Amino acid sequence: MKPAAPSGRLLSLDALRGATIAAMLLVNNPGSWSDLYPTLEHAPWHGWTPTDMIFPFFLWIVGVAMTLSFARRVEQGADRGELFRHVLVRSAVIIGLGLFLVMFPFGLLPAHHFSFAKMRLPGVLQRIGVCYLVASAIFLRTTWKGQLGWAAGLLLGYWALLSFVPVPGYGAGVLAPKGNLAWWIDSHLLAGHTWSGAPTPGFDPEGILSTIPAIATTLLGAVTGHFVRSFAGAGLSLRLLRDGAVLLAVGTVWGLVFPINKNLWTSSYAVFMAGWATALLGVFHWLIDVRGWKRWATPLVIYGSNALAMFVLAGLIGKFLYLIQWTGADGKAVTLKTWIYQGYFVPLASPVNASLLFAIAFVLVFFFLAWLLWRRKWFLKI
């Protein structure tokens, strides 16, 4: 596969990244977790909602960007070892930021209780860092065909592990929250350090074994990046739409025997979501890069230009909204978030719409912050 002639920055990818970070802020910051539209919640176990598209989109975009960043330098003779050393540093920083968000504010506020013995070790940024590290190592030593082969091998291997390796006391092929192989590994190797809100104690949706297919998600993005470099114009848009449709079909059929499941990151889920990401990039590319309709996407590009900064800032401010609290007139604790939500949003609409309005306001506030950074050309780069 030979790359096409060099072109400018792919605004459609920036816009898709921005749409993903905006969607993440929307679903992670409702006014009340008790009042949500079903589409803004994760599927309880098997199945999917639009909310389940967000995390795999992040990893898939990391893969595409990885190819666009590394491929030309490799072709120009850049030292692969030096590139991988940069990957090591960047991965460590991403993982470190994830752990920092878990620990912050280190028990320094009265409402925050922190203990190394009970802190959650997995997380979104931690998984992104690990997937970027492993996928980069594979990328720097293989062609696009090798990367596709690795992705297929990881997905098939994960399916085989969950389907045929017996779990003590439960047997093989259990895909319920408790009794599956991913749960068994997490509950033993990460005992006391998994997410307290998981579907069952001891399980973690960003756990050890389910990181295997998440790496494959990143590699599927990397393979798409090669096609992005090799095609141009409407031909690229059509290629992305075609490949997306194929992946969606494969994921759907695979889901009949290995259900689509975000918590387990099943192989069918990885393929299915890569299909959505590929197809949507095709739509964005046709609208923005081919037709030249860029104005509508400018807010998304602004968001996408500082995605990591928005993620970290949202995590910090989201925590502050819960941790800053005082005693109300009735003697009960009142959080800053409750005060804002109850005072300014609840009177405006029904509970579910008031909760949504709060989330939209959160997204708009962070767009303003992203715009300020973009206007001053301040970009968090690792």
Alpha helices in 180-210 (DSSP H): 181-189
Measure Cα distances from 64 to 3, 112, 150, 201 in Å. Answer: 14, 38, 16, 35
- Count of other CB atoms within 10 angstroms of residue 21: 26
Looking at residue 171, what DSSP letter applies? B
d(C-alpha 347, C-alpha 344), whole Å:
7
d(C-alpha 216, C-alpha 214), whole Å:
5
pLDDT value at position 285?
97
Cβ within 8 Å of residue 216, ≥6 positions away: 150, 151, 152, 154, 155, 158, 267, 270
Measure Cα distances from 123 to 81, 97, 117, 130, 275 in Å. Answer: 28, 10, 16, 11, 24
Of 63, 48, 49, the residue nearest 16 (C-alpha): 63
The two tokens of residue 119 are 């802190």
d(C-alpha 326, C-alpha 316), whole Å:
19
Divide the 382 residues of the chain into consecutive groups of 10 and give the mean pLDDT of each group: 51 95 96 94 96 97 94 86 93 96 86 86 96 96 95 98 97 96 97 92 96 98 95 93 98 98 98 98 96 93 92 93 86 89 94 97 95 88 72
pTM: 0.93
pLDDT value at position 14?
94
Looking at residue 335, what DSSP letter applies? E
Give buried/exposed letters for 153-173 (b at 16+ CB in 10 A, else e): ebbeebbebbeeeebeeeeee
Of 316, 265, 366, 370, the residue nearest 98 (C-alpha): 316
pLDDT value at position 338?
93
d(C-alpha 215, C-alpha 251), whole Å:
16
Specify the DSSP element, H or E, that contains 325: strand 325-327
Of 212, 229, 57, the residue nearest 138 (C-alpha): 212
Alpha helices in 199-306 (DSSP H): 211-230, 233-254, 267-284, 298-304
- Count of other CB atoms within 10 angstroms of residue 357: 18
